[in-house]
Amino acid sequence: MAALQKKALPNGCLSLTSLGLGTSPLGGCGVPVSFETFEAVILKAYEQGVRYFDVAPLYGLGKSEHFLGHVLRVHGLRAEVVVSTKAGRLLKPASRSKRAESLYGINWIDPLPFVDEYDYSYDGIMRSFEDSQQRLGLDHIDILFLHDVSGVWHQDKYPLYLGQLRNSGYRACDELRRSGAVKAIGLGVNETASVLEVAAEFDLDCSLVAGRYTLLNHAPLTDFFPEAQRRGIGIIAGGVYNSGILAEGSRGNALTRTYDYQAAPEAIVRRVKALEAVCERHAVVLANAASQFVYAHPAVTSVVQGALTTAHVTQNVASISAPIPQAFWMDLKTEGLIPSEAPLPEQSSLAVSG
């Protein structure tokens, strides 16, 4: 079996496999997920070479953290993997608390009996981190992302939460990192602007950014990636399928033919069809091209994808490592489907024998 390539974060403290497993779907995001299914997916990912797992208090309202920690502990995997979780939300008893407002109406199936509440203050971040330690059962957590520190997400309340960080939240992050409780601090967001805004005020090691650099979205090439590289911020890329359409293509159903969690506009569908035409000429799977295009950029340390079944894990591993001819990438550039300056994958770099 080929081992997935690893890249180090710019600060050198951690190395991540080219593919990481995100556990939002496994938290019961719209579908029921049993512990047995969760365990099988984590073990399949480990078997396939994945050594990076991302979780958050939000996922299943504590369930994903409980489940992931238990699987790692029972199977003796903790020392072999990198774990990231998130801060910025506290879980409160559902019977006595109000659920936080969310940009997307997430329907958790059979979650734990809690609701989430935003808090980016010193006390909130420390409490969130310690609660996550308890749920995961871990002595330390490798990466701590500040979850949804974003003007897109919080809109008119963004200044309030950014103010909490400025007043005391950054101090909590600094203490956690200096003490060794975490090795890296970053943001976990669906936009790029807030990463640069926070980075101008606080030293970020990395950030998990979803859906901003894809086969359909190239904007980070000219502004975000160069600045992230200059500041030494490793980018962990999520949402490489733009929420669905780059996974299932233009022929997908209403649930999968989505772009940024909405029905894909006709202009996006036309671009996907053009991508599919090149894929057909070269016998390339669109999802594979989507994953490898993102990972090819030197600013990207890892690509994180979710999975609901062991078959999904196998597909994800193939997506990041299956051979794609250079002629395919050159045709995408020739036809103007990706920018001429976009870095291209070198097949030998995607996997190493092991």
CATH of 16-340, one of 3.20.20.100, 3.40.50.300, 3.30.460.80, 3.20.20.140: 3.20.20.100
Secondary structure letter of residue 7 according to DSSP: E
Q: Which two tokens stand for residue 213?
A: 């650099």
Secondary structure letter of residue 108 according to DSSP: B
Place of tokens 């690509």: 303
Q: What are the pLDDT digits (tens) for 56-110?
A: 999 999 999 999 999 999 999 999 999 999 999 999 999 988 877 776 678 999 9
Q: What are the pLDDT digits (tens) for 147-176?
A: 999 999 999 999 999 999 999 999 999 999
Q: Which residues are catalytic?
A: 54, 59, 86
CB atoms within 10 A of CB 229: 15
Q: Which residues contact 193 (CB under 8 A, 6 or more apart)?
A: 151
Instruction: Say if residue 348's pLDDT is above 70.
Output: no
